[in-house]
Amino acid sequence: MKREIAQKIIEAMKGLDKAIDRLDIAVREIEDESERKRMLIFLAGVIHDLHVKITLPTVRHFPDLHPDKPRH
């Protein structure tokens, strides 16, 4: 994988993280507990899959691009 592509992937993932955070906040407002839990479980699976199948393979090539790595 070329670094330029990895950078694009990580930037896109950062945008997804922000969108998923907004979605999580909205889903938590659902009054029906069973519906809310069902959606939160699904959302957790999506977050996990994105991390394991996209972020981790990308930063394996370029560890300095990891979104949780402190910047100096």
The per-residue b/e assignment along 20-58, b for 16 or more CB within 10 angstroms, e otherwise, is: eeeeeeebeeeeeeeeeeebeeeeeeeeeeeeeeebeeb
Q: What is the DSSP letter of 29?
A: T
Residue 71, pLDDT score: 55
pLDDT-derived band of residue 69, with 50, 70 and 90 as boundaries? Answer: low
| Distance separating alpha carbons of residues 62 and 49, to the nearest angstrom | 19
Question: In total, how many domains does the chain have?
Answer: 1
Residue 70 within any structural domain of the chain: no
Q: How does pLDDT run across 32-67, given as a tens digit for each residue?
A: 999 999 999 999 999 999 999 999 999 999 999 887
Residue 21 within any structural domain of the chain: yes
Residue 72 pLDDT exceeds 60: no
Residue 22 within any structural domain of the chain: yes
Residue numbers of the domain that contains 41: 3-64
Residue 29 within any structural domain of the chain: yes
